[in-house]
Amino acid sequence: MSEHGVHDEAPGEAREARLAAYDTVEEAVRKQLSKALGGPRGVVEAAIPTIGFTVSWIVSHQLRASLIIGAGLAVVLLAVRLVQRSTVQFVLNSVFGIVIAAFFALRSGKAADAFLPGIIYNAGYAAAMLLSIVVRWPVVGFLIGSVTGDPTAWHRDRDIVRLCSRLTWLLLIPCLVRVAVQYPLYLAGHVGWLGAAKVVMGWPLQVAALAAMVWLLARGRTPMETATGASES
C-alpha cells in the first residue's frame, strides 16, 4: 500500500492487465508495431524536414540555408507536439536525424552527404534484422515479450518464431530497397533524386510493409497464452 492509502499495482497484476488487452499474439504484434512506428502522423513528420531540405537545395543550391530550413521545420513540428501535449518521441527522432545529416553535410561540404546517415542506418538495420532471422531470434518477437512481460517465452513456440521471422522480413525488405536505390544515387551525387527517393521510400514504402504485415497477421489466431509459455506447464 502506498503512503496515500492506495494499493500499488503489483507487477503480476500489471502483467495480467497487459495480457488481458490482447486475445491473440497477432493482435498484440499489430498494436505494438503501430506504436513503434508512430502511426501515420509520425511517418509524415519524419518526411517533412527532408522535403524542406531537398526543395530548398534544388531551388537555391545553398547547403547551409537548406539545412537550416530542414532543421527549422523539425523544430516547428516539435513545438506543435509540445503545445498539443502529445508524445514528442517521433519528432525528436526527426530532429536528431537532421542534426546528424547536417554534421555529415557540413563536414564535407557536399549536400549528398546529408543522406549518407540514412543509408548507413538502413544498411545496419537490415543487417541486424537479417542476423536475428538467421539465428532464429527475430526482432519482432521481442514486441511480444514487451506485452507478456517475459522477453523470451515466445521463442519456445516454433509457430510464433516462424510468424515473427516473416514479419521481420517484411520490416527488412524496405531497408534493403532503400539502400539499393539510394546508395547509387549518393555515389552519383544526385541530391534532388536522393531527396525524392527518400520521401517516396519513406512513408509509402512503410505503409506498404505495414499493409503486408496486417494481411499476414489477420490470417492467424494464436492465443496469447502460447506466447507466455503457459502451455508448457
Residue 226 has a pLDDT of 59
Q: Report pLDDT digits (tens) over 126-172.
A: 999 999 999 999 998 887 777 667 788 788 888 888 888 998 999 89
Residue 221 has a pLDDT of 65
Low-confidence ranges of the chain (pLDDT < 70): 1-25, 28, 30-40, 43, 147-148, 219-233
The answer to whether 130 and 172 have CB atoms below 8 angstroms apart is yes
- How far apart CA 125 and CA 73 sit, in angstroms, is 26
Give 179's strand partners: none
> Which residues does 219 contact at the CB level (< 8 Å), separation at least 6?
none
Average pLDDT over the chain, rounded to whole? 79
* Closest of 157, 68, 204, 171 to residue 76, by C-alpha: 68
Residue 172 has a pLDDT of 93
* Closest of 153, 173, 219 to residue 15, by C-alpha: 153
- Residue ranges covered by each domain of the chain: 24-225
